[in-house]
Amino acid sequence: MAASRDKSLDSEEKLEAYFKFHKIAVKPFEPKPSFDVLSGYLKEDQVKSTPICVIVRDGKKEILTGGPDIVGALKGLAAKGP
C-alpha cells in the first residue's frame, strides 16, 4: 500500500527504511511454503473459479460456489457454533 502511494519506494531498501521511519515492525518471511500448501488445497478441491467456499466439518467436505450459497452456509456455521 505504501509503495502504491509513493512511487519513490521502488526498492526493498527504500521500503524497509519507510517502515523503520514510521515505526512499523516487519518480519520478512519466505512465502513459497505457504503458497505450496495453498496450491495443494486448490488442486485437491479442484478449484477453478471464484467465489468458492470449502467447508470441512465432521469429516465431510462441502464445496459451495456462488455468493448466496456461500453466505447461507457461513451463516449456518455461525448459528451452529464450533
pLDDT tens track for 56-65: 988 999 999 9
Phi, psi angles (nearest 5°) of residue 53: -140, 130
Is the whole model's pTM more than 0.75, yes or no? no
pLDDT of residue 73: 93
Separation in Å, CA 13 to CA 8, 25, 28, 57:
11, 15, 13, 45
56: β partners? 61
Beta-bridged to residue 54, according to DSSP, are: 63
The H or E element spanning position 61 is strand 60-65
CA 44-42-29 angle, 5° bins: 120
pLDDT digits (tens, 9 = 90+) for 22-49: 999 988 889 999 999 999 999 999 999 9
